[in-house]
Amino acid sequence: MKRIYFISVVALALGLGAVSVTAEPRAQEAKPAGDAEAKPAAKNEHAYSGMYTFLKEGEFVQVTVEDTGHVTGFVSRFGDGESDKGAFLDQFFKSGKLDGNQLSFTTEIVHGVSFDFKGTVERGEGKNPGDEAYFLLKGTLTESASDVNKKVSAHSREVVFKMFPQDGAPAAVERK
């Protein structure tokens, strides 16, 4: 009888020890309440997916946030070069990442031009989800261009891209 009691006590002690060991790391993983806004829950990050304005009227960037914080999308813009002046060009993301509200993406090179964005996704002046400018992309956009001699030049600028309304699309632009 003493032996069964002893085994029960040891098993209980080990069980309680295991519970306290597994509970401790969970407590350490918990974030302070102040960090909740800095890194929203994953389901809220999907709300950032959508179409945003780009540099000129009629141009846009499509951002799609996947479950792992991986971001896919593309930039649709008008060409500025001699051979593509006014042509509509699509530049797909080569890489993209969302960590909390920190967004970055790099496009493929099309006609010698690529874009690199590093910034944040923030709430805009839109009142309700689906409204125009409900979210904004704010940050630094670097445009890299290579000339015929393969010389690369880069130009950075601060940008703010507004989310299009959910039921809207970019306005049609008359092409010349």
Confidence grade of residue 9 (pLDDT, cut at 50, 70, 90): very low
Say which residue, 170 or 143, is predicted with more confidence: 143
End-to-end CA distance of the chain: 96
pLDDT of residue 15: 44
What is the C-alpha separation between 18 and 16, in angstroms, rounded? Answer: 5
Reduced to 3 states (helix: H, G, I; strand: E, B; else coil), residue 3 is helix
pLDDT of residue 67: 84
pTM of the predicted protein model: 0.69
CA atoms within 13 A on the CB side of 52: 26
What is the C-alpha separation between 18 and 68, in angstroms, rounded? Answer: 31
Reduced to 3 states (helix: H, G, I; strand: E, B; else coil), residue 5 is helix
Confidence grade of residue 29 (pLDDT, cut at 50, 70, 90): very low
Say which residue, 129 or 17, is predicted with more confidence: 129
Confidence grade of residue 133 (pLDDT, cut at 50, 70, 90): very high
Region 8-30: what's the mean pLDDT?
40
What is the C-alpha separation between 94 and 72, in angstroms, rounded? Answer: 8
* pLDDT > 90 in the chain, percent: 56
Q: Which among 77, 82, 63 has a CA at the least distance from the CA of 163?
A: 63
Asked whether the predicted pLDDT for residue 66 surpasses 50, the reply is yes
CB under 8 Å to 77, separation ≥6 — which residues?
54, 55, 56, 59, 88, 89, 91
